[in-house]
Amino acid sequence: MDITPPVAADRQLILGYGDGGFRISGTRHKGPVLVLPGQTLPWSVQSIQDLTAESLIPIRDADEPVGVLLIGCGEKMVLIPAKLRAEVRAWGVVIEAMGTGAACRTYNVLLSESRDVAAALIPIE
């Protein structure tokens, strides 16, 4: 049984994760990535401690609006500092932090619902 949610062919669907990277719309990406509905970008954040508003500027400046940003923190969810949440919220973006696996699955569901979603993902080794 195929449980992949239906999405338009030009959308970035996360098909797998692990071994230090991600398989997104048929392409393997090694290391951290920013996944927007129309594109996947390499991301410089190697651990959740490196997360800053500056590291999320591609989300702020995206061609398509982002209302929800899922942060895949690695193995498990980590609390995102209130100051960073407020800074990103001023851009009109709400941060939801969770383990990377949960962030991948949630991104696909929200994408299939045509929500304004993006994901910032730190890989699981």
- Could you say which residues of the chain have pLDDT below 70? 1-6
Output the pTM of the full model: 0.93
Q: What is the CATH number of domain 14-121?
A: 3.40.1230.10
CA distance 58 to 35: 10
The domain locations on the chain are: 14-121
Sheet holding 14-18, edge to edge: 14-18, 21-24, 27-30
Sheet holding 39-42, edge to edge: 39-42, 33-36, 117-121, 68-72, 94-98
CA distance 49 to 111: 27
pLDDT at residue 5, rounded to an integer: 61
pLDDT at residue 4, rounded to an integer: 60
pLDDT at residue 1, rounded to an integer: 43
